[in-house]
Amino acid sequence: MKKVAIGADHAGYELKEFLKKKLGEDGYQIIDYGTDSDRSVDYPDFASSVAKSVSSGEVDAGILICGTGIGMTIAANKLNGVRAALCLYPTMAQLARRHNDANVLALGGRLMGKDLALETVRAFLETDFEGGRHEVRVEKVRQLEGRG
Ligand code: RB5
């Protein structure tokens, strides 16, 4: 995963800026969809930009940050092809990749320190999907898109 879209609301802005810098230093190509300050904004606006970028294949993965990560997760998962996972520590991120083939990582900016967040992001971006029995399950998830 080399090309990564990132987005945050006001509660995730500071962490987004930190992660953007660190991931850039790691060699990732980052596309920043905002927000650009800590002024209050609505998380679905940023979730939709990042989720669209992932579902269209423009980027390999997305990162979304709000206060808890919950709103971003709910909103991003409305788009076809998006599997957004809220992960608050690295093991969750590894399993979200290995078992669920998650393509968007959501973080809680008000719940995580910067170092833990960076470790969680790196775990997500560096872990591959295992396939095998999980492929069948992910395909069943895919089949739920557009239903009901
Ligand atoms: C903003 O106050 C907060 O509600 C938002 O960042 C997020 O946590 C929503 O899920």
pTM over 0.95: yes
The catalytic site residues sit at: 66, 99
Short-list 112, 134, 130, CA closest to 63: 112
Burial class (CB in 10 A: 0-12, 13-18, 19+), 48: middle
Pairing label, strands 104-108, 84-86: parallel
Q: Is the pLDDT of residue 18 over 90?
A: yes
CA of 67 to the centre of ligand 1 (A): 5
Q: How far apart are alpha carbons 111 and 61 in whole angstroms?
A: 22
Identify the pLDDT of residue 1: 63
Q: CA 58, CA 134: separation in Å to the nearest integer?
A: 25
**Spatial contact of 111 and 69, defined as CB atoms under 8 Å apart:** yes
Does 111 score more than 80 pLDDT? yes
Instruction: Place 145 in a pLDDT band, splitting at 50, 70 and 90.
Output: very high
DSSP state of 124: H
How far is 120 from 28, CA to CA, in rounded Å?
Answer: 15
Q: What is the pLDDT of residues 28-77, one digit of tens each?
A: 999 999 999 999 999 999 999 999 999 999 999 999 999 999 999 999 99
Instruction: Among 14, 42, 66, 107, name the best residue to mutate to test ligand 1's pocket (greatest count of ligand atoms within 8 A of Cβ).
Output: 66
pLDDT above 70 as % of the chain? 99
Of 70, 60, 58, the closest CA to residue 108 belongs to 70
Mutate to test the pocket of ligand 1, among 41, 72, 77 (most ligand atoms within 8 A of CB): 72
Amino acid 146: pLDDT: 84
For residue 96, what are the domain limits?
3-144
Tokens, residue 115:
């170092």
CATH of the domain at 104: 3.40.1400.10
Domain count, the chain: 1
Q: What average pLDDT does the chain have?
A: 97
116 touches 73 (CB < 8 A): no
Tell me the average pLDDT across 77-84: 97
